[in-house]
């Protein structure tokens, strides 16, 4: 297959590796994973004359990013001068074309993760406009949309956006590569992908020659975890389980290697539970493998995985593994209950019991590790994965050529996209991003007008009315971003006056759902009141602290859900600014807040349903009519 691919690409074939959103060679280096991540491309260097890395590093990392790329003997394309992202995407295809040089016979563009969709599609479009044949391999180590839904919810705008980008990428791709069958099955039925364009290529493991496990004595009682310190990883369960084991009289130590937002809270939990835990920084991949060979058990309690690379690496060096049952782990090829790993329900007691099995039975632990080692090395060795990778690239080049031939011949042959919702996705050229504003507007206006005029009048009205709802929402988000994080209504509409003019100096004010505290800061600064703000979003509160510091406003903040969490104290005034319409069971909530806070005065502002004709018109048409898709109601006077 290597020879076949070389023949297809010719002597001047090029591989373009597009790193994930926010991904960079510097990030791989910081994480200690540069050698591991590059091992595959070092192998592929014998097939391609040039490998180009498209990095999403910041401009401040340019020098180090270049140094690493030079060490890897790879060409580098990145946003070196900090150009605005839209403009950078518009020129990305041309930049990659320059990096390839010469007259390549064909080029393979491959994503490292699906979050690289925008860049990869812009590159393919740009290369094809310049006359270069580009085959697209949409590789993902995990299902991007599944992780966003897990973290932010399937109803979130972030999920909708990444689902759209992922769908466009995999439908446009010549080959879609996933690391697990469940990932590919999800993509196939959800995005209507033909089976022949899907390829299963697991993450590979680099475990050396296999002698380390036998040469090193394992430390009985040493538990090891390496990875992110985030909520999804549920490291708190490991700490609690370790505390239970220690309290039962077993000699154990949990070594945690990693960084993340939960580090401080996990350290605090270890102190509170009395768990014997040691926290250490990330270490290079080779050192981590050595540590895996030394520990007694590798433990993991993640709530969701794509294809658990670190877990498989521990298995590959003969370490007994204990993991919680979770998507991406329980269904991972190679993870077989009580044969290659011990799986437990995701609670501390069950995890402690599973770890105890491995600690108390050395023979069982050894059998577990040896079976895991043989299984993972057979399925996930670098040799095996390299062969699968070369086959996928060859297939992508073949399918790309067939697609271009069909397009030139006017054939309606299958492109690998099955339309499941009755209409193909709307496509636009990334070059439009770099156009002047007036040209952008004219292009979109002509396109929408041309489409809408083809609809019969009632359907046209319904389409334009519902589209307006989403455009209005996008306008609000764009206005906030352009305004530095604060909606322009605060200034343009003298929005705060209603509240400020009704609050006196020294009064105690509670702002329910305070957001970024723009209104709370204004009330405190202008009226002399003592203001408390409460909001459920830690992200909002982080921004609120910046606003308060800048305004030097006497505002205190509380993190909590206003419908269930009570802010401490009593208040003279309760403020609800564009909040009440987002809440269900509003009369009961108002009564509860009155009882909680003893406030004689509530100041409430909500958007008006009938402030202009379009909202009532949308409701009459029977389309989405709410001013905001998160509103539970719209108010009339």
pLDDT digits (tens, 9 = 90+) for 548-583: 998 888 999 999 999 889 999 889 999 999 898 888
The tokens describing 383, both together, are 């040799």
Report the chain's mean pLDDT, rounded to a whole number: 87
Q: pLDDT by residue (tens digit) across 479-514?
A: 888 877 777 777 777 788 899 999 999 999 999 999
Nearest to 232 by CA among 341, 297, 142, 352: 142
> Are the CB atoms for 346 and 237 separated by under 8 Å?
yes
pLDDT over 50 (residue 411): no
pLDDT over 90 (residue 443): no
Residue 212's pLDDT is 42
CA separation for the pair 179, 203 (Å, rounded): 6
Of the listed ranges 149-153, 172-176, 201-205, 357-361, the least confidently predicted one is 149-153
Residue 138's pLDDT is 96
> Are the CB atoms for 324 and 232 separated by under 8 Å?
no
3-state secondary structure of 395: helix
Residue 2's pLDDT is 53
Phi/psi for 134 (5° steps) reads -125, 120
pTM (2 decimals)?
0.65
The tokens describing 417, both together, are 């996209």
For residue 25, what pLDDT band results from cuts at 50, 70 and 90? very high
pLDDT over 70 (residue 317): yes
> Are the CB atoms for 198 and 176 separated by under 8 Å?
yes
Share of the chain above pLDDT 90, in %: 53
Q: pLDDT by residue (tens digit) across 372-409?
A: 999 998 888 999 999 999 999 999 999 988 776 665 55
Residue 440's pLDDT is 86
The tokens describing 331, both together, are 């269904």
> Are the CB atoms for 255 and 296 separated by under 8 Å?
no
CA angle 144, 29, 258 (to 5 degrees): 70
CA separation for the pair 229, 187 (Å, rounded): 28
CA separation for the pair 635, 456 (Å, rounded): 32
Residue 151's pLDDT is 86
**Complete edge-to-edge strand list for the sheet that includes strand 342-344:** 277-280, 253-257, 219-226, 295-300, 320-324, 342-344
Residue 239, H or E segment: helix 235-247
Q: pLDDT by residue (tens digit) across 177-201?
A: 999 888 999 999 888 888 999 999 9
Residue 482's pLDDT is 83
Strand partners, 577: 605
Residue 211's pLDDT is 40
Q: pLDDT by residue (tens digit) across 57-113?
A: 998 999 999 999 999 999 999 999 888 887 888 889 999 999 998 887 789 999 999
For residue 131, what pLDDT band results from cuts at 50, 70 and 90? confident
- Residue 205 is given by DSSP the state B
> Are the CB atoms for 220 and 250 separated by under 8 Å?
no
> Are the CB atoms for 417 and 240 separated by under 8 Å?
no
Q: pLDDT by residue (tens digit) across 50-67?
A: 999 999 999 899 999 999
Q: Which residue has the tokens 């220690």?
A: 246
Residue 226's pLDDT is 95
Q: pLDDT by residue (tens digit) across 429-440?
A: 766 777 888 888
CA angle 49, 53, 56 (to 5 degrees): 170
CA separation for the pair 15, 103 (Å, rounded): 14
The tokens describing 538, both together, are 């830690």
């Amino acid at each position: 297959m290597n020879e076949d691919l070389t023949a297809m690409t010719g002597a001047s074939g090029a591989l373009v590796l597009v790193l994930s959103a926010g991904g960079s060679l510097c990030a791989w280096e910081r994480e200690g994973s540069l050698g591991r991540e590059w091992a595959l491309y070092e192998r592929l260097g014998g097939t391609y004359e040039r490998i180009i890395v498209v990095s999403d590093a910041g401009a401040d990392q340019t020098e180090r990013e270049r140094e690493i790329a030079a060490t890897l003997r790879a060409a580098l394309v990145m946003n070196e001068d900090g150009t605005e992202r839209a403009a950078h995407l518009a020129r990305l295809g041309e930049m990659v074309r320059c990096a390839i040089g010469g007259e390549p016979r064909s080029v393979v563009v491959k994503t490292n993760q699906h979050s690289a969709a925008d860049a990869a599609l812009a590159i393919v479009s740009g290369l094809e406009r310049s006359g270069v044949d580009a085959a697209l391999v949409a590789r993902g180590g995990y299902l991007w949309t599944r992780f966003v839904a897990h973290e932010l919810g399937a109803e979130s705008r972030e999920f909708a956006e990444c689902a759209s980008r992922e769908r466009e990428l995999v439908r446009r791709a010549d080959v879609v590569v996933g690391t697990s069958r469940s990932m590919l099955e999800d993509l196939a039925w959800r995005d209507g992908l033909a089976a022949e364009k899907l390829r299963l290529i697991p993450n590979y493991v680099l475990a050396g020659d296999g002698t380390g496990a036998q040469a090193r004595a394992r430390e009985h009682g040493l538990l090891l975890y390496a990875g992110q310190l985030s909520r999804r990883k549920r490291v708190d369960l490991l700490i609690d389980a370790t505390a239970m084991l220690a309290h039962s009289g077993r000699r154990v130590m949990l070594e945690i290697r990693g960084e993340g937002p939960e580090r401080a809270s996990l350290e605090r939990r270890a102190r509170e539970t009395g768990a014997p835990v040691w926290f250490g920084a990330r270490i290079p991949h080779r050192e981590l493998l050595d540590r895996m060979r030394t520990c007694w058990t590798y433990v993991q309690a993640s709530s969701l995985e794509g294809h658990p690379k670190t877990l498989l690496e521990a298995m590959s060096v003969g370490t007994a593994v204990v993991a919680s049952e979770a998507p991406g782990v329980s269904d991972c090829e190679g993870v077989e209950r009580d044969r290659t790993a011990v799986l437990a329900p995701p609670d501390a007691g069950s995890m402690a019991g599973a770890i105890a099995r491995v600690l108390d039975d050395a023979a069982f632990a050894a059998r577990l590790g040896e079976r895991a080692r043989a299984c993972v090395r057979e399925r996930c060795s670098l040799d095996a994965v390299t062969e699968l990778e070369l086959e996928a690239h060859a297939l992508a080049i073949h399918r790309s050529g067939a697609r271009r031939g069909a397009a030139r011949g006017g054939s309606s042959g299958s492109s690998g996209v099955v339309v499941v919702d009755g209409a193909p996705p709307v496509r636009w050229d990334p070059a439009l991003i770099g156009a002047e504003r007036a040209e952008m507007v004219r292009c979109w206006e002509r396109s929408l007008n041309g489409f809408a005029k083809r609809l019969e009048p009632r359907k046209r009205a319904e389409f334009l009315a519902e589209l307006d709802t989403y455009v209005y929402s996008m306008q609000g988000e764009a206005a906030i971003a352009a305004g530095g994080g604060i909606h322009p209504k605060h200034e343009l509409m003298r929005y705060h006056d209603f509240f400020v003019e009704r609050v006196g100096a020294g009064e105690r004010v509670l702002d329910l759902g305070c957001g970024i505290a723009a209104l709370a800061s204004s009330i405190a600064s202008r009226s002399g009141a003592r203001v408390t703000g409460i909001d459920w979003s830690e992200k909002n509160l982080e921004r609120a602290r910046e606003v308060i510091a800048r305004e030097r406003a006497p505002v205190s903040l509380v993190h909590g859900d206003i419908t269930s969490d009570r802010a401490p104290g009593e208040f003279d005034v309760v403020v609800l600014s564009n909040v009440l319409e987002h809440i269900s069971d509003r009369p009961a909530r108002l009564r509860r807040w009155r009882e909680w806070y003893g406030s004689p005065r509530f100041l409430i502002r909500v958007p008006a349903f009938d402030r202009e004709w379009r909202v009532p018109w949308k409701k009459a048409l029977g389309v989405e009519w709410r001013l905001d898709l998160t509103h539970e109601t719209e108010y009339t006077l």
